[in-house]
Amino acid sequence: MKQDLRKIQLAEKVIVELGMGDGRVLQRLVEEYSGDRSVAYVGIEKDKILADQARMRVNSQNVSIVNSMFEQILILFYDQCIDLVVMVLPDPDYIDPVHHEKWSPFYGQLIHSKLKDLGVLKIVTEIIDDLLEPVSDVTYSTQVNWLIDAFFNLGFRLLTKKDGPPLGYTSLYLDKFRADPQRIRMVTLDFVKRNKSPLPI
């Protein structure tokens, strides 16, 4: 694996999806670059069955599917070698305000250090009401703004915010959530890595 990763990191562009499920989003990412060989893709999934499904789905030389916990793999990457990290509907342990203390180092240290300058972290996440009532505009914007602030403090500046998931993205849970748009609203946030300590001029 380590050797594979070295090869991957020599690619002109490196795209990593964390928790890729059965690989549908990864397949879409590969299609977006129309088979550009200078791009290396890594999909990481801890569930073996899903990882095997992803292997069947996205079978290309410049795609590596890894069946493992993503923290254990990310740490093997050189610093500043990833262009884009994608997380679609991360587990609440990695996004919920309640678990903020727990997940902060993961983004603020691990992902931040592995992204190149100008590297982008793309997160698609769901916004739900605590009582599972329809999500009001106020609840939605409060939670989204909280995420933007939290990620800013972890070293990421918001580049784009889009209501809902990217149109072409599909996965088991994305499609389930799309079917309940009142109670489960989704947002796509693209953050660019920022220098945490601005340089004095």
Partner 1 sequence: MSSQMVSEDQVYAALRKCMDPEIPVNVVDLGLIYDVKVKPENIVDIKMTMTTRGCPLHDTLVGDVKRYVGRVNGVQNVDVEIVWDPPWDINKMDPNVREKMGFGKPKLRFQVDYETYMPAKIGNSSSEQDGSLILLNDKNQGYMVNQAIVEFWNSCDGTKTVNQLTDQFASKLGMPRQQVEQEVVQLIQQLLESELLKP
Q: CB under 8 A: which stretch of 40-48, 65-73, 125-133, 170-178 binds partner 1?
A: 170-178
77 or 191: CB nearest partner 1: 191
Note whether 117 binds partner 1 by CB under 8 A: yes
Note whether 55 binds partner 1 by CB under 8 A: no
CA distance 194 to 116: 10
45 or 190: CB nearest partner 1: 190
Note whether 98 binds partner 1 by CB under 8 A: no
33 or 92: CB nearest partner 1: 33
Note whether 180 binds partner 1 by CB under 8 A: no
Lookup: tokens for 47? 């569930």
CB of 138 to partner 1, least distance (A): 18
117 or 130: CB nearest partner 1: 117
CA distance 166 to 35: 20
Alpha-carbon 146 to chain mean position: 18
Note whether 112 binds partner 1 by CB under 8 A: no
CA distance 185 to 112: 27
Helix or strand or coil: residue 15? strand
CA distance 56 to 23: 9
**Cβ-contact 51, 67 below 8 angstroms:** yes
Residue of the chain from 36, 47, 91, 133 that contacts partner 1 (CB under 8 A): 36
